[in-house]
Amino acid sequence: MSTDAVLYDHPGPKAKIRNLVLTVVFGIALLGLAYWIYAKFDEKGQWAGTLWKPFTEVSTWTDYILPGLGYTLGAAAVAMVLSLTFGILFAVGRLSDHRWVRYPAGAVVEFFRAVPLLLLMFFIFFGVPFLTEQPMSVFWAVVLGLTLYNGSVLAEAFRAGVYAVSRGQSEAAYAIGMRKGQVMREVLIPQAARSMLPVIVSQMVVLVKDTALGYIISYPELLQMGVNNVSANFGNVVQAAIVVAIIFILVNSSLTALAGWLERRTRRVGKAPKTAVLVDAGSAT
Amino acid sequence: MDVFSDPYNVDVYVTGFLWILKLTAASTVGALVLGVMLAAMRVSPVPVLRGFGAAWVNVFRNTPLTLIIFFCYFGLYAVLGFTVSDDLNLNNYWLGVIGLSVYTAAFVCEAIRSGINTVPAGQAEAARAIGMSFWQTLTMIVLPQAGRAVIAPLGSIFIALSKNATIVGTIGLMESSSAMKELINANGDAVIPIFLAFAGTFAIVLIPAGYGFGWLATRLAVKR
């Protein structure tokens, strides 16, 4: 159901004129806003060619931006694999019939979902070395933080997915004599994972964005390399931030598009559970 | 818990969470107002407004909040000379509020839009049939029903917002995560109690808040 068609009728002559007037009025307002931003930039000399020029040079890309992007995607990829493992383990834990498994697993998942990721990263990076008495690699501080948080989010998503598999599936599996572990492993998880694929991919958007937190503990990711280091050399922090933001938007939009495509695909096959609609916004850290 | 017998440390802890509270409160209002306006734009009959809403959502939802906050300080304030207050802390606070609101508004907009989608087409059609305008249909028929459908997603957005408020520490506000970092560096022998105090505070407030929103959502859900 598309909202546009529902909220208002197909415009008649009067509505067309009104819409045209509104279009013009808001168009002018937006142009005004754009001009105001332009003028503000101009006032501070932010359109100067020297500030933008570094981005036309190959060395800026090969020295700063591409390595930064590599570190961002690398941390995101490792964290994704680990969070999937963590997510599946703890989802199964929370679904267990044994209280001594279910309650601790639930406590871990709830705890790590409620703690800000930055707090977690600070603890891992600054706190853990005091306990282990050896320095913590910044890469693993970022990855572990991301894993604990996103793994917990995914665990909840998987649990919802397993609940959404129709009861007949597990009943049939028990009826042909499968054991609990087999039902989970061979019947429930494959179907849940499939219907959860769009959620998993949208969680990757969250992961890619969250690697930027690594900047705060000086992990050389895209924000650190592309904005901080580039602007330290060329004094163009506004321009660098805009360029890096565009890169993030491109990467994340393609992931979102992939999630949308997967969702349409699963729906076509008719396997998408009706109750498993998760708003990825909630995990917007 | 010897660390917290020192009044200075307690003070750092309390100030940190006060900042989080203030950031969350102001940004919740900002994000809600902006988000509802954006959602109204995205479902309006005017293409320019739809385009603006869509562009806003796509830009801010896909940009890391860290980058937005970073830009608010180093771009908006340091380079473009945008100042809100002469007091340095207060200025950083408002820059943080701007960043958090602008970012969260994109998620609020999308949640409300998906809430609008849960309202059956018949409702809006009936409203139009008795001669209501777009504005009347939206404010009297669709949004009240959509609002009740989006309590759970909005709840998780605002819970995420309160956690995201820690990122404002990047631009020098001594909020709870920076406070924890300071305490850890000063008291290397008491890392675990410090972490448990800070993380535990978040957990004790936010876990019940999550269940509270869930309870409210089922209670207020429109029975269909």
ipTM value for the complex = 0.89
Q: Which residues contact B17 (CB under 8 A, 6 or more apart)?
A: B176, B201
CB within 8 Å: A26 and B48:
yes
**Among B181, B182, B202, B218, the residue to mutate for chain A (most A Cβ within 10 A):** B181
pLDDT of residue A270: 54
pLDDT of residue B222: 80
pLDDT of residue A82: 96
- Using the Cβ of A117 and the Cβ atoms of chain B, whether some distance falls under 8 Å is answered with yes
CB pairs under 8 A between A and B: 203
CB within 8 Å: A281 and B169:
no
**What tens-digit pLDDT sequence spans chain A (285 residues)?**
444 556 777 788 888 898 899 899 999 999 999 999 888 888 888 888 888 888 888 888 888 899 999 999 999 999 999 999 999 999 999 998 899 999 999 999 999 999 999 999 999 999 999 998 888 899 999 999 999 999 999 999 999 889 888 889 999 999 999 998 899 989 998 888 888 888 888 888 899 999 999 999 989 999 999 888 888 888 888 889 999 999 999 999 999 899 888 888 877 665 545 444 444 444 445
Distances (CA, A) of A41 to A48, B63, B140: 10, 21, 42
Residue A33, class by beta-carbon neighbours within 10 Å (0-12 exposed, 13-18 middle, 19+ buried)? Answer: exposed
Give the H/E segment covering residue A42. helix A13-43
Q: Which of A19, A46, A281 sits opposite B111 (nearest CB)?
A: A281
Nearest Cα residue in chain A from B207: A114
Query: B208: pLDDT confidence band, cut at 50, 70 and 90?
Result: very high
CB within 8 Å: A215 and B49:
no
Assess whether pLDDT exceeds 80 at residue B32.
Answer: yes
On whether the CB atoms of residues B107 and A205 are closer than 8 A, the answer is: no
Q: Which residue has the higher pLDDT, A56 or B30?
A: B30
For B80-109, what is the mean pLDDT? Answer: 91
d(C-alpha B153, C-alpha B151), whole Å:
6
Nearest to residue A115, comparing CAs of B214, B102, B19, B176?
Answer: B176
pLDDT of residue A2: 47
pLDDT of residue A192: 86
pLDDT of residue A277: 46
On whether the CB atoms of residues B79 and A238 are closer than 8 A, the answer is: yes
- Using the Cβ of A285 and the Cβ atoms of chain B, whether some distance falls under 8 Å is answered with yes
For residue B124, the chain A residues in CB contact (below 8 A) are: 6-7
pLDDT of residue A268: 66
CB within 8 Å: A119 and B176:
yes
pLDDT of residue A117: 94
CB within 8 Å: A30 and B184:
no
For residue A243, the chain B residues in CB contact (below 8 A) are: none
**Averaged pLDDT score across all residues of chain B:** 91
d(C-alpha B68, C-alpha B101), whole Å:
11
Give the tens place of pLDDT for each residue, B134-151: 788 888 998 889 888 899
Least confident of A2-6, A7-11, B47-51, B194-198: A2-6
Query: B1: pLDDT confidence band, cut at 50, 70 and 90?
Result: low
For residue A126, the chain B residues in CB contact (below 8 A) are: 181, 184-185
pLDDT of residue A118: 94
CB within 8 Å: A245 and B59:
yes
Helix then strand count (H, E) for chain A reads 16, 0
- Using the Cβ of A152 and the Cβ atoms of chain B, whether some distance falls under 8 Å is answered with no
A107, amino acid identity: A
d(C-alpha A163, C-alpha A279), whole Å:
17
